[in-house]
Structure 1
Amino acid sequence: MKTPESAPSSTEFVVLMASLMSLVALSIDTMLPALDNIGRSLQITDPKDSQFIISTVFLGMGFGLVFYGPFGDTFGRKKSIYLGVAIFAVGSLISLLSESLPVMLCGRFLQGFGGSSCRIMTMAMIRDRYSGRDMARVVSLIMMIFILVPVLAPTVGQGILFVGSWRTIFGLFLVMSLLTVSWLAWRQPETLKEENRKSFNLKVILSGFRETILHPKSRAYTITAGVMFGGFVGYLSLSQQLLQVAYGLDEMFSVYFGAMALAVGFSSFANSRLVMLVSMEKLCATALLLGSVISAIFFTYAYFKGGLPRIEFLTVYFLGTFFSLGLLFGNLNAMAVEPLGHIAGTANSVISSIQTLISVVIGTAIGSFYEGNVLPIVGGFFACTTLSLIVILTVKKESSSVVGSI
């Protein structure tokens, strides 16, 4: 697809989109090594309350995702990002200056709400500029850069703590948000043409929301993705307490955390090849069955080891689990939005928002059972994969029955 001469090159566009998309991920993963420091500074008496510093970002995202899709279709992609990044920056400043947990959580909610604009609008800008195989190639390149964030962010956070305080990390978020939005304003033209803009109509938004919720396949895959993401949110919320505190990894925490992220990246790359050979339904069912079986086996093993098995075995378990997750998220989202192509923008916002809100509830529930061992995380993954597998197989059976009756 030919782009205007004033538009940045494909390489610059990929890096810009990846940078914008990474803002929220950066605000989550960079914080992980600093949770203990924040807890002491804000005088958090119950260590479990520190989990909310992570999960509240996802809560803000859940509300933001359903807003920015229709807003961006009306006022343009760039204005939507300007608004979102401004809210993200305000949230970063509030968190930086916070002296209590409620104020911190307010800032984190705003970070999630504002940053969600980047997640929705970057994909919209890619769709505006590219199509077909070109779009698939660009998305793949962006995801290759994006996966480096959870790999490197904890190390960056740990490095900042060596020379400064946890407040310096929020200063980094503020600087990054201002730099990326300035880059967008300077180099990237608006991609949504005036003739393609839609009215910001609450009735249309509610109609799209209703249609998305009532479609049986879209609803089932949306809930499944939300449940599985909930297991992942539970891991993110507890990873620092488990690996850095319970296992005493200290500075090595970022190395282990990065290895888990690479497993997701590798399986996502493998999925891009496998999906051309095997149906998405079969890939998801296989990944869920794999996750359920290894979680059941490892939970039994960990239980008899007092909940803290050797770190080597825990690492192998997490690598296997996250490999299965990498086969799920892209396929489940694609299957959820597939029957709603005529309202793809609104449907994508609704689906992403519902998934995120479900994940916050499940992730918070998993975190509430934490008692200094791996059992809540492993048990949570077992429950999530098993429930999701039942839903996937039920949908497949119902679809086969409909086809057979025809």
Structure 2
Amino acid sequence: MEYAASPPEQAIGRRELVVLIALLMSLNALAIDGMLPALDEIAHEFGVAAGNQRQLIVSVYLLANGIGSLVPGAFADRYGRKPVIMIALASYVVFSIIVALSGDFTVMLIARGLQGMLAGGLMVAPVALIRDRYEGDQMARMMSMVSAVFIIMPVIAPSMGQAVMLLAGWRWIFVSLAMAAAIAGLWTWIRLPETLTEENRQTIDVPVIVRNMKAALFNRASIGYVVGTSLLIGAVFGYVNSAQQLIGEHFGAGSWFPVVFGGTAAMMAVSNIVNSRIVTRFGARRVSHTGVLIFIAVSCAQVWAAINRDGDIYWFIPLMATNLALLGFLGANFGSIAMQPFANIAGAASSVQTFFRMFGAAMVGMVIGQSYDGTARPFAFALLTCSVLALLLVLYSEKGRLFRRLNKPLQPHVP
């Protein structure tokens, strides 16, 4: 069901909206994946000890991004989705430049943390905007279309970062991020409509905010999907954190790292496209529940390969590509199911759910990344553990029943 929540003068079409929202959300992916090929050079320039400490350039941003997502939802429910997006973009530009000019590793990490925190609105407000217009399987379809576009960024970001680094040095990677955010800001200012209606505007009042966030989080129909997504994304963040060491060093890919990383990540774009075509036919629950069961099976194969074929990249690549492909049938569907009961507090719901997804995923990903021991075994066991726990959480939300297709929310909208 599509809602006519945006102003009558709206001129933006669905395709343009998909691409614009994807660009906004992909800026976080660019800030994470774009500098992966430069981690060694950055660590060398700042005199950072070899090993897992260089992962902080990624994990600090991820943690701060999760924390920062708690704040924008309340403002998006009061002042609208568009102002929150514009402030997030301006902050992204400023701190990208500060990182590019930094001369100390600690200063760089602080700037990365502030950039990630203030960029939280780029994850929260776009989701609330989509929820203003869609619900249920239609929202899952829209989110899959957005994901199919913005997932292209993690695929090409390492190669882009490597190209920029080779031509002009690693600092210009961050200058490029600032330029991309500035272009997105201009496009947003000119074309993006405001979708928050007057009747759904909330007050900036701490008790109201706490009430809305509590309602959005402690809803049984949603919580299992929120935390389950956090675990699954956390496993992927663990892959991102340790990818340069795991692929480039352990599996010996060397300079082919961006190609291998991008090739496996590309499968998420393909599966999101497929999901957008099938989700309205079969339902978000049926598709995602099937996906998580297959994810567990593939993770079992990952554990076997890590023990019996350790160091063999020809086992790792197809299994990792399959794991990432399955996320295309999980992320958008889990997110739309979790948002379904909250049409009138979409900002608060998106904020608190994004926080638990991103902050929890960043913590899980940091633990997985820091557990890297020169083999693929810790990561393989983490994939299996996270996917099994995600299934148990989904069973909790669904009261023990999988594969149901519902035409209305499990819980009434929050008054």
Structure 2 length-normalised TM: 0.87
RMSD in angstroms over aligned alpha carbons? 2.7
Aligned pair partner of 2:367 in 365, 370, 373: 365
Aligned pair partner of 1:264 in 268, 274, 281: 268
Shift of 1:170: 0.7
Distance 1:294 1:183, change over 3 A: closer
Q: How does 1:250-329 map onto structure 2 within 5 Å? A: 250-305=254-309, 307-308=310-311, 310-329=312-331
> 1:227 touches 1:388 (CA, 8 Å); kept in 2?
yes
Aligned pair partner of 1:97 in 98, 101, 121: 101
CA distance in 2, matches of 1:42, 1:367: 21
CA distance in 1, matches of 2:240, 2:169: 22
Aligned pair partner of 1:349 in 342, 351, 367: 351
Correspondence for 1:149: 153
Correspondence for 2:333: 331
> 2:128 touches 2:350 (CA, 8 Å); kept in 1?
no
Distance 1:367 1:63, change over 3 A: same
More helix by share: 1
Shift of 1:323: 2.0
The amino acid across from 2:93 in the alignment is A
CA distance in 1, matches of 2:217, 2:134: 29
For structure 2, the residue ranges without an aligned partner over 5 or more in a row are 403-415
CA distance in 2, matches of 1:81, 1:386: 35
Correspondence for 1:48: 52
SS across alignment from 1:348: helix
CA distance in 2, matches of 1:100, 1:393: 47
The amino acid across from 1:390 in the alignment is L
CA distance in 2, matches of 1:206, 1:157: 40
Q: Which moved more, 1:340-349 or 1:136-145?
A: 136-145
Aligned pair partner of 2:216 in 212, 218, 222: 212
SS across alignment from 1:44: coil
> 1:60 touches 1:113 (CA, 8 Å); kept in 2?
yes
Aligned pair partner of 2:378 in 376, 379, 391: 376
> 1:230 touches 1:359 (CA, 8 Å); kept in 2?
yes
User: 1:224 aligned to 2:233?
Assistant: no
Shift of 1:86: 2.2
Correspondence for 2:244: 240
1:257-309 superposed Cα distances (whole Å, 9 cap, x missing partner): 2222221122222323443444544433332222222222332232234x31x
Q: How does 1:16-165 map onto structure 2 within 5 Å? A: 16-127=20-131, 139-165=143-169
Aligned length: 398
Distance 1:332 1:90, change over 3 A: same
CA distance in 1, matches of 2:322, 2:140: 26
Identity of aligned residues (%): 33
Distance 1:287 1:152, change over 3 A: same
Distance 1:19 1:323, change over 3 A: closer
CA distance in 2, matches of 1:251, 1:291: 29
